[in-house]
Amino acid sequence: MATTSSSTVSEPSDIPTAQSPSYDGSAVTPPSDPELRMAIEDQIQHEIALQEAGSGSRWLSLIGWDRFDCKKLIKAEQTLLGRVGSAVLSRLIPVKLFNSDMYTVSTRAESIPESKTPFVLLHGFGAGIGIWAANLDALATQRPVHAIDLLGFGRSSRPPFNDDATLAELEYVQSIEDWRKAMNIERMVLVGHSFGGYLASSYALEHPSRVRHLVLVDPWGFPDRPPNGDTQMKMPMWVRAVGKLAAYFNPLSSLRMAGPYGIAVIRRMRPDLGIRYNIADDPNAIYEYIYQINSRKPTGELAFKSMTKGFAWARRPMLHRFGNLDSRVPVTFVYGSRSWIDAAFNLAMREISQIVDEEIDILSKRNGGGDADNDPNE
């Protein structure tokens, strides 16, 4: 069961320090609760560390091209999460690996007991917890929800990963297990999107007893790369562009090099995001959010690159290992009818069906989807 505390409800940018003036100019009394005070100090230090880290590029900082702004990141995230009706709790969860912190956002409907097996959401490459904003309310009516920023992404720590594909993958698996232990979660419905689906699968292979149900949404990294593989997939322009760039540089280096034009670059590459995350008060919130989380030191990006072969393909395809998944772990694959992973996904599913004995649910936008877990007791 995940334990939560009111000590971490407030965002660091909204909390004045003990010595700073409050909004009306008067002195602020430090909180009497030592745990609350410690949590506030940790959050403030986290915000300072985020701002000081920046892109990690001395060259960009030297020419004034590093446009990372922690306050803009927090504001954009708050705007995205502002559409969530249930109460949202955000905090840093310390993990043993690299002595790091994993940024976590949790929510649940009032009618849902905290003891119920939770959803745990793993985002894809270049993303963060804000990407789940439109899904949190619907999920929170079923069970508690925890969305986490993977190490090297979002507002989590940016440790250096091993440049070996196998070791980097295992480091991610260990970080998720460290997070689970820190949250005191016994079992979880693990939901992974894209790169998060790849890591969720790897985690389930290593720790099957901790996975109540594995839900993979447009999972990346399952099939082998076939001859002329990139031409067989109906990849959008932005994927092809990033893939070509990744052959020579870090996948999102052009975004950081764009400096003040970074948001315009994202908007041009992903105009669909403005429609999916249409917020009347701030239509640019999703673009600001993606720019800011990818303007920081790109350690997760480097780890992902070490695991890839031509960006769209994994060096260690999950297809070769997925048959070893414990048969007691239910699996549901979910993909959209126009997903760019669709072709590779179908190819992988045909091969998986030949090597896995148990039934696997495959839900698409065409057939309406379904419930990720039908057991009312968990």
Residue percentage of the chain with pLDDT more than 70: 65
Do 88 and 49 lie in a common domain? no
- Whole-number Cα distances in Å, 173 to 131, 192, 203, 207, 273: 21, 13, 5, 9, 29
Do 245 and 106 lie in a common domain? yes
In a domain, 63, yes or no: no
Do 321 and 188 lie in a common domain? yes
The better pLDDT of the pair 365, 10 is held by 365
> DSSP string of 349-372?
HHHHHHH--S--EEEETTTT---S
Do 101 and 18 lie in a common domain? no
Do 123 and 244 lie in a common domain? yes
Do 91 and 11 lie in a common domain? no
* Separation of alpha carbons 278 and 124, rounded Å: 20
Return the minimum-mean-pLDDT range out of 18-22, 173-177, 218-222.
18-22
Q: ∠ CA(286), CA(305), CA(288), 5° rounding?
A: 15
Q: How many CA atoms lie within 13 A of 217 on its CB side?
A: 17
The better pLDDT of the pair 213, 248 is held by 213
pLDDT in tens, 290-339: 999 999 889 999 999 999 987 678 999 998 899 899 999 999 988 766 66
Do 25 and 107 lie in a common domain? no
State the pLDDT confidence band at 276, using cuts at 50, 70 and 90.
Answer: confident
pLDDT in tens, 39-92: 555 555 555 455 445 555 555 555 556 668 899 999 999 999 998 999 999 999
Has residue 23 got a pLDDT over 50?
Answer: no
Do 7 and 114 lie in a common domain? no
* Separation of alpha carbons 154 and 68, rounded Å: 12
> DSSP string of 67-120?
---HHHHHHHHHHHHTT--S-EEEEEEEETGGGEEEEEEEE--TTS-TTSPPEE
Do 117 and 222 lie in a common domain? yes
Domain of 322, CATH number, reads 3.40.50.1820
Domain that holds residue 206: 84-252+294-364
How many CB atoms lie under 10 A from the CB of residue 58? 10
In a domain, 17, yes or no: yes
Do 217 and 97 lie in a common domain? yes
Residue of 261, 197, 269, 275 lying closest to 240 (CA atoms): 269
What's the average model confidence in pLDDT over 149-177? Answer: 97
pLDDT value of position 372: 39
45-54, 229-238, 250-259 — most confident range: 250-259
Tally of domains in the chain: 2
Do 46 and 126 lie in a common domain? no
